């Protein structure tokens, strides 16, 4: 029992020390609207478009994404208005910081 609590505490501390990732050129912040199955989901992006996004293989087992999560999306070069890859998932604290910085204007977020 003690070992499990230690892992949780360690993971929480790692998340606290993680650097805030700000969208670079060609990246857009979005909110997961619907899970479509396997590694795909529908994401409403800050630029007003709804894209079908996939989780790349390097994130499949490491990052768990649910509806309502705020994610960073990289649109594809081919079909940029319809498809994208999920690059990053923001934690609750990171979402609060992004709101304070003004990056989440235009997105309807549900309260946590």
The answer to whether position 48 is within a domain reads yes
pLDDT at 112: 43
Which CATH number belongs to the domain containing residue 18 in this structure? 2.40.50.140
pLDDT classification of 22: cutoffs 50, 70, 90: confident
Cα distances from 98 to residues 11, 23, 64, 78, in angstroms, run 21, 10, 20, 28
Give the model confidence (pLDDT) of 75-84 as tens digits: 999 998 999 9
Q: Which residues span the domain enclosing 27? A: 2-101
| The three-state (H, E, C) secondary structure of 4-68, written as one string | HHHHHHHHHHHHHCCCCCCCCCCCEEEEEEEEEECCEEEEEECCCCEEEEECCCCCCCCCCCCCC
* Domains held by the chain: number: 1
Query: Cα–Cα distance between 19 and 50 in angstroms, integer?
Result: 27
pLDDT at 16: 59
């Amino acid at each position: 029992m003690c070992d499990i609590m230690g892992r949780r505490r360690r993971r929480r501390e790692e998340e606290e020390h993680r650097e805030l990732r700000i969208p670079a050129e060609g990246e857009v912040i979005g909110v997961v609207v619907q899970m479509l199955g396997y590694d795909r989901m529908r994401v409403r992006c800050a630029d007003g478009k709804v894209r079908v996004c996939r989780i790349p293989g390097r994130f499949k087992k490491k990052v768990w994404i649910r509806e309502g999560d705020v994610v960073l999306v990289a649109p594809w070069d081919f079909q940029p208005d319809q498809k994208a890859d999920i690059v990053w998932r923001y934690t609750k604290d990171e979402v609060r910081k992004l709101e304070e910085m003004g990056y989440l204007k235009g997105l309807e977020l549900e309260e946590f």
